[in-house]
A and B are shown apart, each in its own frame.
Chain A
Amino acid sequence: MSGEDFDFLLALLLNGASIGMMYALIALGFVLVYKATDAINFAQGEFVMMAGLIAAAILGIEGAPLIAAIVAAVAIMIGFGFALERVVLRPLLGRPVVAVIMATIGLAAVLRGLTPVVFGGETRALPLPIGDEPITLGPMSLAPIQVLGMVVTLAFFLGFNWFFKKSRMGVAMRAVADNQQVAQAMGINVQRYFALAWAMAGIVSAAGGIVWGSMLGVDVHLALVGLKVFPVVILGGLDSIGGALVGGLIIGIVESLVAGYVDPYVGGGTKDFVPYVLMILVLMVKPYGIFGKRRIERV
């Protein structure tokens, strides 16, 4: 391998890792909800879109500071998470899983449909004061927004790792995820933890919406990043926080590699379906993902 080839490979790997971590950020919202409440949220991409739109709309107001846009996006998404749990999901408790899936698919359609009505159809910019001069490190370089994406993702994963391992609330939430009936009997208000999980997904989506929105621009198509959630979480395990990070990295790197090495020969487009091929392969050999929880079988 010549030096130039090697640099090309390094560049692909780094770019893939950074995009992969940004996928992981979005997948994290999905995993939080699934882990705590068993609900499969098909509207995760729409959450991200909604948060991005809110932030962009506020930034669009003359003289509005960035911090206001961030605070508003986070606050509204938290409120939205709580409201959604209370109004849509709680009445569905105890119904078949399909009911919840249908509800979130419906919600996704509603959010996409309402977007042009509320925010208009044009693509908005979500400029962050980080410049666009690539940050270089030896032979590698990355756009500042991708570096920011990695930093934000890492901060969230470290934060949640602390929360679930060290805080009493986090341990209680894992207890709810483990066994709802027993958690209740231990004095844990399960309902309240469901709501908390949705609100946490709201916060994560706000971060995802701002980072992705800043990179791609904000319109209804931003919701498409949600499509990457499924290969990522199937790979990592639907209920594994660490799995979301690893799954994101794998998908991001694989995408980047096929885009770099395969696309030039076939005219492009492979990176859009290769993650799904990977997902199907993983489903066949490891149905619970790499880190997904298995019921412990006792002998």
Chain B
Amino acid sequence: MLTINNIEVVYDKVILVLKGVSIDVREGTITTLLGANGAGKTTTLKAISGVLRSERGEVTKGAIQLGDRRIDGMAAHDVTRLGLVQVFEGRRVFEQLTCEENLVAGGHVQRDGALVKQGIELVYSYFPRLKERRHQQSGYLSGGEQQMLAIGRALMSNPKVVLLDEPSLGLAPMLVEEIFGIVQRLVKREKLSVLLVEQNATLALEIAEHGYVMENGRIVLEGTAAQLRENSDIKEFYLGLNEGGARKSYRDTKHYKRRKRWLS
């Protein structure tokens, strides 16, 4: 469905951030992209959705395909029209707009106003809490409600592929589980394909089928979610467990990093 083939991304013409990244998102599945802060996960998503250019970033090598269309180099609004939409890290709702106006804006690519109304009802059916808040200014919603709104707003464009950037960030565990559950249902019922960026590897590997681990602008590990859950490096660092399954302290990170170089 979505294929990223060996892309390189450069900011400001000189800062090389992605150094040959390949990712495959299969239709109707959740694929997760894991990695520490600064690894290049968000940059990867922005390269796919096309908003990179508004930050003076550029895909300088490789190709990105959505179905059989090549989308690297396309304007962001055209990519959305083709059925791929990004949900940003930190939610980024249109704060000055009400909840429902955010949804209307999200449905901008729909030609028919009736489809926008239908879309809004569909979003409310998945996120009933948004319906209660429909006329509230979205800047004043709670973090969890804003995350729901960001996802709902993205659904309004009737996408085939959704890029989710750290939806669990800063939310209480209960809420994260609720939202992940809804994402799973969306994938099943609305036939979505999802690329899920997470730092919370435990949760992400629970709902994903396939996963990638990124470090320093490169993919250093790839496998099915089951394989990654069993991988000792992942266990140690991302899941915070040692071989015996006990929690590890953060001090061992250095040791991990040294070993990591051998891997990559």
A residues contacting B by CB (< 8 A) are: 94, 168, 171-172, 174-175, 177-190, 293, 295-296, 298
Main SS class of interface, B: helix
Count of A-B contacts with CB under 8 A? 83
Q: Could you show 6 A-B contacts with beta carbons less than 8 Å apart? A: A171-B97, A177-B96, A178-B94, A178-B95, A180-B54, A187-B80
Are A187 and B157 in contact (CB-based, < 8 A)?
yes
Contacts of B140 in A (CB 8 A): 296
The stretch from B108-116, B174-182, B224-232 touching chain A is B108-116
Are A184 and B54 in contact (CB-based, < 8 A)?
yes
B49 an interface residue at 8 Å Cβ cutoff?
yes
Contacts of A172 in B (CB 8 A): 105, 108
B76 an interface residue at 8 Å Cβ cutoff?
yes
Shortest Cβ gap from A243 to chain B (Å): 13
Are B108 and A181 in contact (CB-based, < 8 A)?
no
B101 an interface residue at 8 Å Cβ cutoff?
yes
Are B81 and A187 in contact (CB-based, < 8 A)?
yes
Chain B interface residue count, Cβ-Cβ cutoff 8 angstroms: 36
Chain B residue nearest in CB terms to A188 = B108
Are A179 and B94 in contact (CB-based, < 8 A)?
yes
Are B106 and A296 in contact (CB-based, < 8 A)?
no
Within 8 A of A (CB), among B144-200: 153-154, 156-157
Known contacts A168-B116, A182-B88, A182-B92: A187-B109 contact under CB 8 Å: yes
Distance between Cα atoms of A190 and B78 in the complex (Å): 11
Distance between Cα atoms of A189 and B54 in the complex (Å): 13
Contact partner of A190 among B49, B77, B102, CB < 8 A? B77
Are A186 and B95 in contact (CB-based, < 8 A)?
no
Distance between Cα atoms of A298 and B116 in the complex (Å): 30
Chain A residue nearest in CB terms to B153 = A186
Distance between Cα atoms of A187 and B54 in the complex (Å): 14
Of A177, A181, A293, chain B has the most CB atoms within 10 Å of the CB of: A181
Are A189 and B94 in contact (CB-based, < 8 A)?
no
Q: What are the nearest 8 A-B pairs in CB distance? A: A187-B80, A296-B139, A187-B109, A175-B105, A178-B94, A184-B76, A171-B104, A189-B77
Contact partner of B92 among A179, A189, A295, CB < 8 A? A179
Contacts of A168 in B (CB 8 A): 104, 107-108, 113, 116
Given A178-B97, A184-B75, A187-B77, 19 more A-B residue pairs with CB atoms under 8 Å apart are A171-B105, A172-B105, A175-B94, A175-B101, A178-B95, A179-B94, A184-B51, A185-B80, A185-B85, A186-B85, A186-B154, A187-B80, A187-B108, A188-B105, A188-B108, A189-B77, A190-B77, A295-B95, A296-B139
Shortest Cβ gap from B44 to chain A (Å): 15
B31 an interface residue at 8 Å Cβ cutoff?
no
Contacts of A186 in B (CB 8 A): 77, 80, 85, 105-106, 108-109, 153-154, 156-157
B residues contacting A by CB (< 8 A) are: 49-51, 54-56, 75-77, 80-81, 85-86, 88, 92, 94-97, 101-102, 104-109, 113, 116, 139-140, 143, 153-154, 156-157
Contacts of B101 in A (CB 8 A): 171, 174-175
Chain A residue nearest in CB terms to B143 = A298
Contact partner of A174 among B94, B113, B153, CB < 8 A? B94
Shortest Cβ gap from B92 to chain A (Å): 5
Distance between Cα atoms of A94 and B108 in the complex (Å): 24
Distance between Cα atoms of A295 and B55 in the complex (Å): 21
Contacts of B107 in A (CB 8 A): 168
Contacts of B156 in A (CB 8 A): 186
Are A296 and B88 in contact (CB-based, < 8 A)?
no
Contacts of B92 in A (CB 8 A): 179, 182
Are B88 and A174 in contact (CB-based, < 8 A)?
no
Distance between Cα atoms of A183 and B101 in the complex (Å): 13
Contacts of A171 in B (CB 8 A): 97, 101, 104-105
Are B86 and A185 in contact (CB-based, < 8 A)?
yes
Contacts of B109 in A (CB 8 A): 186-187
Chain B residue nearest in CB terms to A190 = B77
Contacts of B97 in A (CB 8 A): 171, 174-175, 178
Are A178 and B96 in contact (CB-based, < 8 A)?
yes
Distance between Cα atoms of A4 and B88 in the complex (Å): 64
Chain B residue nearest in CB terms to A35 = B96
Known contacts A181-B54, A185-B51: A174-B157 contact under CB 8 Å: no
Of B54, B56, B154, chain A has the most CB atoms within 10 Å of the CB of: B54
Distance between Cα atoms of A298 and B97 in the complex (Å): 16
Distance between Cα atoms of A182 and B80 in the complex (Å): 11
Distance between Cα atoms of A174 and B138 in the complex (Å): 13
